[in-house]
Amino acid sequence: MQSVNENESDCNESDAEDGEDGEGCDGGDGVEGVEGHGTEIVMVVMVLMLVLMLCWYGDGGDGDHDGDVDSDGDGDGDGGGEGGEGTEIVMVVMVLMLVLMLVLMLMMVVMVVMVVMVMVMVMVMVMLMVMVMVKG
């Protein structure tokens, strides 16, 4: 059997010289990425959910009693019972969502525009909360 290393005897390693490196072509320009609009979409969804929830639960539900009971005999009803607790639950959910959004946006390095949008959102939410509380 012939040895596998038979061809190596033809040239000495010391005689071998390194060839010059060829120059490679420059890569083409990459396609520029489209700027994402994820946070704006989330903001719009949050505003829509806020409005929807306030419309849905804004009055806190009807009271337990009708106002037609007249226990003191003065001719007026005693008034309805207190409304349900719908708005409080919605407020808690909205505050949690707002905190989550702020944390997510702070984790990303956000632009001034995003911070301004968050501030506007907070102001709108506070105004809506005050309106709901006054109405209730």
Stronger pLDDT, 16 or 95, i.e. the higher one: 95
**Which pTM was predicted?**
0.25
Kindly report, residue by residue over 27-41, the tens digit of the pLDDT: 767 666 555 556 666
Residue 19 in any domain: the answer is no
Residue 60 in any domain: the answer is no
Residue 125 in any domain: the answer is yes
Residue 8 in any domain: the answer is no
CB 65 within 8 A of CB 80: yes
Q: How far apart are CA 63 and CA 136, in angstroms?
A: 12
Residue 121 in any domain: the answer is yes
Residue 96 in any domain: the answer is no
Residue 75 has pLDDT above 80, yes or no: no
Residue 127 in any domain: the answer is yes
| Domain extent at residue 134 | 112-136
**Interval 52-75 mean pLDDT:** 55
CB 99 within 8 A of CB 121: no
Average of per-residue pLDDT values in the chain: 64
Q: How far apart are CA 65 and CA 83, in angstroms?
A: 10
The single-letter code of the amino acid at 8 is E
Residue 43 in any domain: the answer is no
Domain tally, the chain: 1
CB contact set of 135 (below 8 Å; sequence gap of 6+): 58, 59
pLDDT of the residue at 120: 80
Residue 135 has pLDDT above 60, yes or no: yes
Kindly report, residue by residue over 92-131, the tens digit of the pLDDT: 777 777 777 776 766 665 556 666 777 788 888 888 888 8
